[in-house]
Amino acid sequence: MLALLLFVLFRVTVPEINFPKLTTTQISDNQWFKLAKDTGIIYVSFAIPFVVLAIYAELLRTLGSWFTVALVLLFPPTSRNRFHFYNEWTLEPLALVLKKDQFDISDLVEKSGELSLKYRFKNKEQWENYQTNLNRLTKNSSIYLGDFLFFLVGWILLFHIFPQIVWVRANVSQFWHVAFALFGLACFAWFRVSHALAVMPGLQMLFVATMVRTDPDIASFVDSSEEHRQAVRSRLRELLNNEQKEIDSEPSLIRFVRYHLGLIDKREEKAEPRMQMKSRAGWPFGSLYERGLRFSWDENMHHEDHTDWIEGYLAYLYYRTLARIGSTGKRLLTLVRHIVTGTP
């Protein structure tokens, strides 16, 4: 991929390597050749390129992983979708194990970390399946991120430390093109890695909560009265709502675009499901859209003896058409997000 980027897309010249011209007599009379022949090394020399390639690949992965770890430490990944995996019902078993009425999300994360150590050794098969699924989220993206960062740093150092090399002078005009391309690829890989790392605590909480439900050692903690369960679920609902409010208070380019496109926000729709909508919702005929939305739930408007039933039904068709288009668009955006980020 990088070779295609360099030598085809940006037309970077291939370095000229001048090998010395040797005759068969010179090779056979060489002392190193005689030593390799006498010791038998020459018979396995065909494997030397593969060994060198393996060493190069391992070195590249090691240096790339160092760059990735440094980037994660400098810019801890966060995600606006880190709490969409679970609700008060999925987290209820984990919260019951805490054995206290007042707890926070951090307590759940800490407890899931403790129990994950237990299930790592007690349920090895399930734990290995869980780890395999996690590796699928980050492995390739983290490798690509390390590779792109390594080549980006190497490209910059090559042109600044060895500017007198003929090949460097011949390709100086392509320096910024390649540098920006590598930077863009590294940003895209970081986008995928950061999203995967941000959702990992939530995935671990889901895994541990699922294991707690079937763990006979903890059955006594989970088997509580319905009144206590309701109190725990109420506390979880409160915590998740507070976390969602904190996320919504952060600046969001997607929310800005949605607002100016007049799209209905799901959270506002849940808060007031009947008539809560943006001022530009239903563009280009907002009032017709609003009338169709009201026709869908107002029994007085869609009753058969209503005088404006035909007009209301036409408005309702307009509302349903835009709602169906919006629903299809959201599914496509979800699919695109899954393809781009690599996370559920």
Q: Per-residue confidence at 139, pLDDT binned at 50, 70, 90?
A: low
Gyration radius of the chain over CA positions: 30
Please say whether the beta carbons of 86 and 93 come within 8 A: no
Q: What does the pLDDT read at residue 113?
A: 85
Residue 115 tokens, joined: 């129990």
Kindly report the backbone phi and psi dihedral angles of residue 251, in degrees, each rounded to the nearest multiple of 5, phi listed first: -60, 140
Mean pLDDT, residues 102-108 taken together: 86
Residue 9 tokens, joined: 């897309």
**Cα 289 to Cα 306: distance, rounded to the nearest angstrom:** 19
**Cα 96 to Cα 98: distance, rounded to the nearest angstrom:** 5
Q: What does the pLDDT read at residue 340?
A: 61
Q: What does the pLDDT read at residue 138?
A: 66
pTM above 0.85, yes or no: no
Q: Per-residue confidence at 329, pLDDT binned at 50, 70, 90?
A: confident
Higher-pLDDT residue of 252 and 242 is: 242
Query: What are 229-248's pLDDT values in tens digits?
Result: 888 889 998 988 888 787 77
**% the chain with pLDDT above 70:** 79
**Cα 85 to Cα 30: distance, rounded to the nearest angstrom:** 68
Residue 235 tokens, joined: 């506390």
What DSSP state is assigned to residue 6? I
pLDDT at 305 over 50: yes
Q: What does the pLDDT read at residue 168?
A: 87
pLDDT at 64 over 70: yes
**Cα 302 to Cα 153: distance, rounded to the nearest angstrom:** 66
Poorest-confidence range of 99-108, 285-294, 322-331? 322-331
**Cα 204 to Cα 110: distance, rounded to the nearest angstrom:** 11
Please choose, from the candidates 211, 11, 242, the residue with its C-alpha nearest in 3D space to the C-alpha of residue 111.
211
3-state secondary structure 84-153: CCCCCCCCHHHHHHHCCCCCCHHHHHHHHHHHHHHHHHHCHHHHHHHHHHHHHHHHHHHHHHHHHHHHHH
**Cα 155 to Cα 117: distance, rounded to the nearest angstrom:** 42
Higher-pLDDT residue of 12 and 42 is: 12
Q: Which residue has the tokens 């890989």?
A: 189
Q: What does the pLDDT read at residue 11?
A: 78
Other Cβ atoms less than 10 A from the Cβ of 269: the count is 13
Higher-pLDDT residue of 105 and 282 is: 105
Q: Per-residue confidence at 318, pLDDT binned at 50, 70, 90?
A: confident
Mean pLDDT, residues 128-140 taken together: 74
Q: Per-residue confidence at 262, pLDDT binned at 50, 70, 90?
A: low
**Cα 206 to Cα 130: distance, rounded to the nearest angstrom:** 11
Q: What does the pLDDT read at residue 270?
A: 43
Q: What residues contact residue 281 under an 8 Å CB cut-off, 6+ apart?
A: 262, 263, 264, 289, 290
**Cα 283 to Cα 254: distance, rounded to the nearest angstrom:** 18
Q: What residues contact residue 211 under an 8 Å CB cut-off, 6+ apart?
A: 115, 119, 123, 126
pLDDT at 269 over 60: no
The amino acid that residue 25 corresponds to is T
For residue 292, give the H/E element and its range.
helix 286-297
Higher-pLDDT residue of 149 and 142 is: 149
Pick from 16-25, 42-51, 204-213 the range whose average pLDDT is largest.
204-213
Residue 159 tokens, joined: 């042109």
- Name the average pLDDT for the chain: 77
Q: What does the pLDDT read at residue 180?
A: 92
